[in-house]
Structure 1
């Protein structure tokens, strides 16, 4: 799949773990703007998509703010825009929701091919051209320590080889991220993200609209 033009284009839809299927309807045009802050964030998201699509120097993006503010929506909108813009140049996009990743891992534990599934997911996240890790930090509150430790490990392994082109969405603020992850992971997350840490402040709760 990853060696063909159309295969790479299809990775976003066939390999992503998104949770709510309605997220596939997320575009820039469907993001409801009610405040100037929301317009500014929408404009920044469009700029990020343009910069990614133009194959400029690789960089990371962090979307941080309270739940329901549209972080996942705009992260998906960016990916879908990139996927369309770059479909003829063999670029791949992937959206991974952290809770869905944990669920997928737990399912794999009941089968003999557990190791194969872990390696497949890790390799995919490490090698796609553009990656969204959605809702990072949810695993820190899980009672299942084994799953939480595995997510910490995979996040480190992914960022240890990726050189940008990664978007993180999280409800955690800087100090909370530092408590949830060790310094090596924080360093990898913040690397190449200067000017692209977007705080979703002054945003209405999109789930109430």
Structure 2
């Protein structure tokens, strides 16, 4: 079949005129390919920008420390390297939709302060948001319990009840719930708090929602602290447990041997590794 250039050549010959001979002349097929290429590039840019906007929205709702990233994690001990192996396996498993819909998974990071537990949990959350647009909620358990307590003040005008109901809905429905400082400075939660937390975990379990629990307790004392009902909920998950026992990454404020030499003030630099 003649292309458009051939038809123009034949028409020009019939009319006794010269056909276009511009060496930069582009036939229809080439022109169409050019337009399609540009359109595809525009669509890809729109998709990329739209995804970035969605990711930023999820990150904002998650309330994560933006500096909790794998690339600035100090991996100088066996416990951190073990946690990284678990984290990479957990993140990579999200490529399999069957895995994501088959059961509920929980990581328990436990150990002393400053060992990197929260940092790794936050890094996992950031990766899941950016790679898979997984919804995340990061909260300290004590903050949630305080909000729960304040929500019972029905005479208050600060909207605490409405805010708590919104958080309660998010606790049940986000894809990944990160609970930090679980039972910090608590030997045992009150019975009603134990039941509330256990119910949250059981409902998430039924709906195949994943969790990360971060605590300073060891596993035995954690069972005592959250109560048997709540701990039985935890045991129902496919769980991955990492004990953090390496060195603290936090700066020493009061040195072990106090020098008589005045300490030169360097300015405040917040510690980003928890």
Please report the TM-score for the alignment, with normalisation by the length of structure 2. 0.60
Deviation of 1:112 after TM superposition, in Å, equals 6.0
Matched, 1:92 2:129: no
Q: How many correspondences in the alignment?
A: 192
Matched, 1:79 2:125: yes
What does 1:61-72 correspond to in 2, within 5 Å?
Answer: 61-72=107-118
User: Aligned in 2, Cα 1:15/1:38: closer, same or farther, shift over 3 Å?
Assistant: closer
Matched, 1:49 2:69: no
What does 1:1-12 correspond to in 2, within 5 Å?
Answer: 10-12=57-59
* Structure 1 equivalent of residue 60 of structure 2: 13
Alpha-carbon distance in structure 2 between the residues aligned to 1:182 and 1:38: 28
Deviation of 1:155 after TM superposition, in Å, equals 1.4
Alpha-carbon distance in structure 1 between the residues aligned to 2:247 and 2:89: 22
* Structure 1 equivalent of residue 238 of structure 2: 193
Bigger Rg, structure 1 or 2: 2
Contact 1:63 1:168 in 2 (8 A): yes
Contact 1:122 1:154 in 2 (8 A): no
2:67 corresponds to which of 9, 22, 25: 25
User: Aligned in 2, Cα 1:179/1:40: closer, same or farther, shift over 3 Å?
Assistant: closer
Deviation of 1:61 after TM superposition, in Å, equals 1.1
| Uncovered stretches (5+) of structure 2, i.e. residues with no partner | 1-50, 253-274
RMSD, aligned α-carbons: 2.9
Matched, 1:116 2:116: no
Structure 1 segments of 4+ aligned residues over 6 angstroms from their partners: none
Alpha-carbon distance in structure 2 between the residues aligned to 1:121 and 1:149: 21
* Structure 2 equivalent of residue 137 of structure 1: 183
Alpha-carbon distance in structure 1 between the residues aligned to 2:125 and 2:95: 10
Which is bigger in relative contact order (C-alpha 8 A, separation at least 6)?
Answer: 1
| Uncovered stretches (5+) of structure 1, i.e. residues with no partner | none
